[in-house]
Amino acid sequence: MVRLINDFTRVCKTTENGELCFCDFRINIYECSNSEFYVIVGKILVTICILATLMGCGLLTYLIRVKKQPFFLSATRERGWLRPRPLHSYHLIVIGYMSFEAIHLILLITESYPSIKAAEIGNILINVVSASISIFYTVSIVYSTPNTKFNEKFELSTGEKGINTRFVDMIGIILFLLPIVTWLPLASLTGHFAELNDIKTANLYFTAHFLALVVWEIIYISVLAYFWYKLMSVIKSYIKVMEERHISSGTTDNGSYVESIKKSTRNITVPVMAIFFGLLFQAIIYLIMSLTYRSTTIYSFGWNLFYYWIEYVAFPLLGLSVESLLVFFTMKNNKKLPASPGNSSSSKTRN
């Protein structure tokens, strides 16, 4: 076991009550005030992360094996290379984020990191993996949007021009690679200069690496919000058409079909809202943290507690809550299937 203690991982100041030391909790949780807190909460978070990871794996397996929904949408002329399904992509984000956070916290608690550089890389890998995987989710929303338009009478009409699949794929690939080529090197350089005890240079790279996180998150949530809005507009128009036809025809067949569409919409919207507001709030906090943490707020346990919540606690709790909600909806829908065998068979046909 290697205890990563130097002037970067632990900062101290002299007060009337003696010397007080504070940890940079991202890479060290020992030999400072409130070390026991970080260890206890870290163990709880490891349990939460493992539980959320198992739930994500279970739901993803259920969708692929039981529901017979492959991870990738079928290849068509309107879809590019990257064409995963939205809900599948969300579960993969949860699996990636939670598993890497669990690994990082375990290594911190057991003091298994060999160097500060390794700890910095281990910490940023949580963000790199989840951010890169999250691109699949945004692209999946684009390719899940039907290439359909409606006239003034709400009649279906096929659009003459489809989406530019090459452009969408290029945006996806660029956003996928950006965290790898920017965040990892900046975190590595932060750790490198911290090991040399060049605190000033290490702090500069620390600021740059958090600002890079903020820029990427703002771009990502903007793209995500646009594509989600586009998808919801098409679905709402389509539901209106189906309801109009249902009323005019006087049949009851379309009612269950419309309800299944609304349920699918909810399953997409809940994860989108969780990602959007979570990343927006995190971007604001990361901006503040990049400018004040190393120089000012690291000396306050209240601020450290707040940053720790944003960095390690918020997303595991949010992810676990959303996964639990999706498990509930899945179990609730399964209970209803035996009561309507006809709907069950038609549902399988649609999937």
Q: Give the integer Cα–Cα distance in Å for 330 and 270.
A: 14
pLDDT, residue 214, reads 94
Residue 285 CA to residue 179 CA, distance in Å, equals 18
Radius of gyration of the chain (CA): 24
Q: What are 24's two structure tokens?
A: 């940079």
At residue 273, the pLDDT reads 83
pLDDT, residue 344, reads: 43
Residue with tokens 């971007």: 283
Q: Confirm whether pTM is higher than 0.85.
A: no
What CA dihedral angle connects 70, 72, 74 and 78, to 10 degrees? 160
What pLDDT tens digit does each residue of the chain (351 aa) get? 678 888 999 988 887 777 888 999 999 999 888 899 999 999 999 999 999 999 999 999 988 888 888 887 776 666 667 777 878 888 999 999 999 999 999 999 999 999 999 999 999 999 999 888 888 877 777 776 555 454 444 444 544 444 567 777 888 888 899 999 999 999 999 999 999 999 999 999 999 999 999 999 999 888 888 878 877 777 777 677 666 666 666 655 555 666 666 666 776 777 788 778 878 888 999 999 898 888 888 888 889 999 999 889 988 998 898 888 888 877 777 766 554 444 444 444 444
DSSP states along 150-195: E-TT--EEE-SS---HHHHHHHHHHHHHHIIIIIHHHHHHHHHHHH
Q: How far apart are CA 9 and CA 106, in angstroms?
A: 18
- DSSP annotation of 24 reads -
Taking CA atoms, 230 is separated from 25, 134, 150, in Å, by 40, 18, 14
Token pair 């600021």 in the structure block, residue: 207
* DSSP label at residue 81: S
